Amino acid sequence: MKQIRLYVMVAVLAVAGMMATGASAQVLRDADFNSIGRINGNGVVRNEAGRSAGSFDADGTVRDVTGKAVGTIKQLEIFDTEGNRIGYINPDGTVRDGESNVLGYININDGKVTDAQKQTIGFARGVRVDWIACYYFFHFFGK
């Protein structure tokens, strides 16, 4: 059963990776569809003023604006710097905290991000779901 779940997670990551377009930046938007930042295909996060806010490394390390590691992503699971799982993403786009409480939802098709009460909090079309979760739900970039 765990092996099937792993395959499903890998498939979701692959689809999300294909949705992100190369090195072009994808716009992060708030609930009113205003631009609040960007993430490029290399994982660099920029705020609305175009200044660096952090990055996602190829090995899954999440870094803040100073380059300090603030977390890690491994197969749709999100960990703090001490290795504690602080959240994860189900294949359907449900984002949960480390205690399995629902934090919100990411629509894999259109990038709409909603909170646990299904209120829209933002949009991030073409961005990997694990990156969206780190930005909107785990606030790794001072959002």
Per-residue pLDDT of the chain (143 residues; tens, 9 = 90+): 555 554 555 444 444 444 443 446 799 999 999 999 999 989 999 999 999 999 999 999 999 999 999 999 999 999 999 999 999 999 999 999 999 999 999 998 999 999 999 999 999 999 999 999 999 999 888 75
How confident is the model at residue 5, as a pLDDT?
A: 57
How confident is the model at residue 71, as a pLDDT?
A: 95
For the chain, list the strands marked E by DSSP: 26-30, 35-39, 44-47, 52-56, 61-64, 69-74, 77-79, 85-89, 94-97, 102-106, 112-115, 120-123
Q: How many helices (H) and strands (E) does the chain have?
A: 2, 12
Tell me which DSSP letter residue 51 carries.
-
How confident is the model at residue 141, as a pLDDT?
A: 82
